[in-house]
Amino acid sequence: MDALTHAVEGYTSSWANDFCDGLCLKAIQLVFGYLPRMVANEQDAEACEKMHNAATIAGLGFGNSMGALAHAMGHPLSPLFGIPHGRAVGLFLPYTIEFTARQAPGRYAEIARFLGLGAASDAEGVANLAKSIRDLARRINQPTSVKELGIPREGFEAALQKMIEDGENDTVTSARIPNRDELARLFRYAYEGKSIDF
């Protein structure tokens, strides 16, 4: 899920460029095609090889354009609650897609079209991409809300201001940068597993 987040954010970041686009799209395609197979059977040598390739290709791609809002939210959650980095950023990815695409949908819709998802309009493509990422997470037994991580609500709320402060330092490449109130809402929506509507 970290490789997928690297690739999606690399393709949609405000620093996206010709050098990253093809790499990021290929990495996304590989993750969707091979991650469920690898998780289902760790002896599937082809799936393992393709996922190694996906992780490396995504790293090369997003290294030229950087991560964005899912990383900004995942970075503080990981050390505060002991959540692995890839699990944290992957969990936040569909929420940040929904948020960012309300202002800049085009690149997300391009990903959806590349994957063959329904994308007659940009809005349809964005919705289908976010849904497909949540579906992928469920297929490999990954949480799709912060609550599913087992983090108590009171502990989450106690850490929220720290997560917001740390997250604000990490949003520079996002195509839509949230203000402090929006970032708080993003964290709370993700806690509950509620799709973003603002």
What is the chain's mean pLDDT, rounded?
Answer: 97
Mean pLDDT of the 102-118 span: 97
Mean pLDDT of the 79-93 span: 98
113-147 confidence digits (pLDDT tens): 999 999 999 999 999 999 999 999 999 999 999 99
198: in domain: no
Query: Using 50, 70 and 90 to split pLDDT, how confident is the model at 44?
Result: very high
Q: What would the DSSP string read from start to end of 101-129?
A: HTT--HHHHHHHHHHT---SSHHHHHHHH
Could you tell me the residue range of the domain that residue 11 belongs to? 2-192
DSSP letter (8 states) at residue 195: P
129: in domain: yes
> How many structural domains are present in the chain?
1
Domain of residue 7, CATH code: 1.20.1090.10
165-180 confidence digits (pLDDT tens): 999 988 999 999 999 9
